[in-house]
Amino acid sequence: MKTIPGLTIFSQQTERLPNTVQFGIPRIDGEMMLMNLDKKGFSISSGSACSSGGNLPSSVLVAMQIESGLAKSALRVSLGITNTVADIYEFINQLKALVYQV
């Protein structure tokens, strides 16, 4: 994922759950990307776990002083016990394909 230009992993250097990552990609609409990835069979989330939806950036990301546009691009991916390494690579490949077609 880090090969996607501008991709920012939020709170990368802090303690966090090992199975969850939240990231943003400049100039990408998080809700639109969420829908496109859902069509590809991936169940992910946009915003933070405590976000209530809507078109506003996550209040948590705003409090972290993440720029509004980047915060609105936020996607959160959590892995479960049934996910495989192949699932992760397929997600990354599909994400890259969607980012580069935008």
As annotated, the active-site residues are 50
Fold of 8-101: Aspartate Aminotransferase, domain 1 (3.90.1150)
Rounded-to-integer distance, Cα 18 and Cα 15, Å = 9
Domain ranges of the chain: 8-101
Confidence (pTM): 0.83
Tens of pLDDT along the chain (102 residues) come to 678 888 999 988 888 889 999 999 999 999 999 999 999 999 998 865 555 555 677 778 877 888 888 889 999 999 999 999 999 999 999 999 999 885
Query: How many CA atoms are closer than 13 Å to the CA of 85, on its beta-carbon side?
Result: 0
Identity at 45, one-letter amino acid code: S
Can you read off the two tokens belonging to residue 91? Answer: 């997600």
Beta-bridged to residue 9, according to DSSP, are: 23
**Quick check: 6 and 12 in contact, CB under 8 A?**
no
Count of CB atoms within 10 A of residue 32's CB?
13
List of residues 6+ apart from 96 with CB closer than 8 A: 3, 4
Residues forming a β-bridge with 77 = 21
